[in-house]
Structure 1
Amino acid sequence: MYLSANTAKLVALLLNAIFGIVQYSRSSGANGKASVDLVFGLRVIQGESNRLADELSNRSPPESLVDILRNVSREAAIAADSMGNVTREDSPIQYDKLRRLLELPYPLWQRISERKAEHHLIWSARTMFSSNLTDEISNRCISELFVSSSDGDCRPSRECLQVMLNTKHLANYALSRQLIYFTIATRQKLCRKAMVSYWSMNQTALTVHLNELCSNVIHEMELFLSRAPKDLDSLTPLQKDLLMQHVFVCGQHGFVDVIQPRILWMLLGQQNEAGCFPLPANDAPPEIGRRLLAVAQSRPGCSGHSTSVAAGASMVYLNMLLSSSNWADFHLSDSAYTLSHREIPHNRFREMNWQLWTKSRRESMDSDFIPDGEPPRLHNIKSDIFAFIFIFLGVYTTVTLEPIDIQGYSYSLLPFKTTADLRRSSSTPMHTRSFNLPPPLSSFSSFPLKGTLLIRPQQQRPRIIKSLSGTHCRQSINCL
């Protein structure tokens, strides 16, 4: 496996930024500066760098690249242990609540496939703040996931489940905090079961909720970028911080929409010579949710929080650049490597010969390369396309009580002609024929459904018959 020259340059820039974060963290830990946020950011670097090295080793990569990833993982682990000891002494109660998050590597999930935002899930109205979702409540709910699961069980309070999962139409940091809660909970098996039980559904409902939250995060990000100046370097530190947090919370779930060249250059351009990311003291945090875990001004002009978020966003971009799908390579191929006022520095923190990772496209027969100008494909076909085909052909789906998981769908073909026939059939035996469909074909909009397909010869308007739970009816289709 070889990288394109564009990808190799970007990987080298990101690895340099990551080494800078680790270098800054080690010096801060040695000087007795505590930061819970920064310890978490280091665990992300440790876990994801090691996971990427394992994954790439199966694709015959240049040995130097794998060695660098192993090296940065080891250095991040050392820095996290050192700063973790200082943080535990400085804030023992808070550290103990988050111990499992701060003492274990945090690899990003190994994605089955890339995803894109679904625009029909975007909310029409938003609010930046909520009296039900304050910083205190958010921190307590996140801590609750670790405290309750430390004794072999996970019992999130109903109040937290209601606020963190069912509060709609939030924006900015409040929306990011909901995604942080969702991610931490679903990464723990027992907490995931508790969430499923809360919804009285199976695990497919979690995917629906994730798609809804990240579709709104990405819409918010794209809307902001459309109104922002071309050079994002002129944004305030808080605006930059929010954009990086959006990249981290949804990028780790495989949403390729976060691949934004302007955000990447902004991220690389704001790192200072010490390796940290700034948040000046005169930028007061908003009322809710700026903190990922806890803010600590580790050094004048440096923010433990912003540096941690930058670490997470950097690992998301590195993950996507080294993915075999080429999404990042395609969307970043025409981007310049300079900011408006200065060139992005190379080899500032670590010397790297990225040329060793490349091979001429003309000479390469590697399947990882894509022809110029050809966009990469998603692994799954957009379900709205099938919805259009179903409507055009006069096909509609009848939904049973629960959605089923991603694999092993079973359907029945019913020989009815009208919905009235279907209603009358409840007291008579139904002769059905089972068949299997691939996952994309089983979805009308955003998730696969367990149900029956009814094909009608008449050209009547297709409808979805609601399940007894009365949920998952799309607004664009009539629901009985």
Structure 2
Amino acid sequence: MITKYAAGFISSHQRSHRLTKFTCQHQNQESRMWRVCLFAFLYLVRVDADDWSFPSKYDAIDGLECLLRYMSRTRKDLNLDGVFGVRMGEGELKSLLTSTEHRFSPELTNRIRDLLGVAESISSDAVPLLAKSAGDYFKNFRPVLKEAWQFQKFRYQIRKLDDRQIEFAKKTKIKEDEMFDEEKSDLCMTGLLGTGKWKEPCSTTDDCLKSMVLEDTNGYHVTHQLLYLSLARRMGCEGVFQRRLEKFEKSWSDLEMEKCSRVYVEMVKAEESGKLEKDVSFRDLFLESIAICGPLGFFQVLRPKWLGMVLAWQNESGCFNLGIPDYEDDYSEAEVREIDKHERQRKLLVDRILSDGCSSHASGLGAGFFAAYVHLYSLRPELLVESGRTFVPAENVAQIRSKLRRCSSNSAALDNPGKDTPYFISLIFVIVVLIGLWRWGKLRRRVLSFTAKLAQTRIV
């Protein structure tokens, strides 16, 4: 009898031990599942919150689509500089799509591919028209319109501006007496192309080289210096020029860093001083500066707050209007002189004001501007968060996104502000799993608790 009772006690004890072990194992598994799901939930919420924030890369995509739709409607009226801007945007989109290191959702990939198709269509239709209307100017710059323009010849690299260069640019006094000469700049660039009076590509003079590496420049002078460097690289002139640059003790990378640091400082000052609001024509230079230094990989110039600001400038039609307002009663005499000075400099650039008052030059630059943002923040969305955002009133965001929706058939600005469908579906799935685990956990704990009590009763 004792032996039988002892065997029964041992058997009950073993069952209790197995039950306890089973309970602990499942509690550990449940705990691990909770941790995994919670991590996935927090990650997806972070991505989702970023996409809902303003501005997001989807706002840049919507802005670009609105602009390209406008330029598609007015392609017959665009000038060479406007078409070149479209080629710049085309190059950024093409570089993004050919990236082998990143995989995007089908929705994002298809949308970027559609925008690239629109840009290619605009360029292919506008170039033959320019051949008939632009004369010698087109002949001199035809090579830059042949295909999409990519500032980085090989793999896209994201770079950081040197803090020392930025501090140096802040302290350096600009030579205000040196007026930028557009004709001289064009002559130097045709030397690289081997057009005009030049017989061979990669041709230059000491005067051209000095002008294009000159320090203490600003405005259109510095942006055209960067264009000159980009064109030289595109034409395969690095070897020829590097030897000539040695006497200036400058490398190619040093020059790009130096010029874009100066651009960055100048644009920050323009924003902080309110110049971008007082002098509407200065926005053309702002767009040009970002559209050049952004594709060179300098992420600091692609500030989120600047994207939001430019989206606010964009017209309902999608273009950019740089008309000068009646400012004589609003600004001081010194401010009026400064605006007039910049406006005279801007008129040196080859621009065409379209019938609705939009600037072909600025609108073309807008294509490069938006595409640079789409490129960077599609590859590195965390930079959009790390760079920080400036608070934008909700009513302003609503106005901007409403405008984008009206001119962009695919805009997700209001109904689905910046959300990639797979992220949205994944987020819902994780929430459902978490709720299911919670409800199942409660039920299972009750069953296990009841079973454990029953086992203990049997032991007793």
Q: Same fold (TM over 0.5)?
A: yes
- After TM superposition, the structure 1 = structure 2 runs for residues 21-32 of structure 1, keeping only pairs within 5 Å, are 21-29=67-75, 32=76
1:130 partner amino acid: E
- After TM superposition, the structure 1 = structure 2 runs for residues 57-456 of structure 1, keeping only pairs within 5 Å, are 58-109=101-152, 110-120=155-165, 121-122=168-169, 124-130=172-178, 133-147=180-194, 153-165=201-213, 167-189=214-236, 191-200=237-246, 205-228=251-274, 234-280=277-323, 286=342, 290=346, 294-324=350-380, 326-332=382-388, 335-336=391-392, 340=396, 343-345=399-401, 346-348=404-406, 349-353=408-412, 354-357=418-421, 359=423
In structure 2, do the counterparts of structure 1 residues 337 and 98 end up closer, same or farther at CA, with 3 Å as the change threshold? farther
Distance 2:386 2:311 in 1: 19
In structure 2, do the counterparts of structure 1 residues 17 and 362 end up closer, same or farther at CA, with 3 Å as the change threshold? closer
1:82-107 Cα offsets, whole Å, 9 max, x none, are: 12222111112111111111121113
| Higher helix residue share | 2
Q: Matched residue of 2:342: which SS?
A: coil
1:196 shift after superposition: 0.6
Distance 1:290 1:186 in 2: 26
Identity of aligned residues (%): 19
Distance 1:203 1:254 in 2: 23
Higher RCO (C-alpha under 8 Å, 6+ residues apart): 2
1:333 shift after superposition: 5.1
1:340-379 Cα offsets, whole Å, 9 max, x none, are: 5962124232224542356379969xxxxxxxxxxxxxxx
Q: Matched residue of 1:168: which SS?
A: coil
In structure 2, do the counterparts of structure 1 residues 188 and 339 end up closer, same or farther at CA, with 3 Å as the change threshold? farther
In structure 2, do the counterparts of structure 1 residues 153 and 52 end up closer, same or farther at CA, with 3 Å as the change threshold? same
2:161 partner amino acid: K
Q: Which sections of structure 1, spanning at least 5 residues, go unmatched? A: 365-480
Larger radius of gyration: 2
Distance 1:266 1:91 in 2: 33
Distance 1:338 1:303 in 2: 29
Q: Matched residue of 1:200: which SS?
A: helix
Q: Which one is further off, 277-286 or 14-23?
A: 277-286
In structure 2, do the counterparts of structure 1 residues 174 and 273 end up closer, same or farther at CA, with 3 Å as the change threshold? same
1:194 shift after superposition: 2.5
CA contact (8 A) 2:143 2:193 kept: yes
1:203 shift after superposition: 11
Distance 2:269 2:253 in 1: 24
Distance 1:218 1:247 in 2: 8
CA contact (8 A) 1:238 1:279 kept: yes
Q: Which sections of structure 2, spanning at least 5 residues, go unmatched? A: 1-42, 326-338, 413-417, 429-460
Aligned-pair Cα RMSD in Å? 3.3
Distance 2:72 2:315 in 1: 16
CA contact (8 A) 1:46 1:105 kept: yes
TM-score, scaled relative to structure 2? 0.68
Distance 1:80 1:335 in 2: 37
TM-score, scaled relative to structure 1? 0.66
Distance 2:138 2:393 in 1: 40
CA contact (8 A) 2:305 2:389 kept: no
Distance 2:391 2:397 in 1: 16
Distance 1:287 1:281 in 2: 9
1:157 shift after superposition: 2.1
1:124-172 Cα offsets, whole Å, 9 max, x none, are: 21124515x412111221222212599764112222111111x221122
Distance 1:289 1:316 in 2: 26
Q: Matched residue of 1:119: which SS?
A: helix
Q: Which one is further off, 322-331 or 262-271?
A: 322-331
Distance 2:425 2:299 in 1: 24
**Residue of structure 2 in register with 1:50 after alignment:** 94
In structure 2, do the counterparts of structure 1 residues 50 and 111 end up closer, same or farther at CA, with 3 Å as the change threshold? closer
CA contact (8 A) 2:68 2:367 kept: no
**Residue of structure 1 in register with 2:36 after alignment:** none
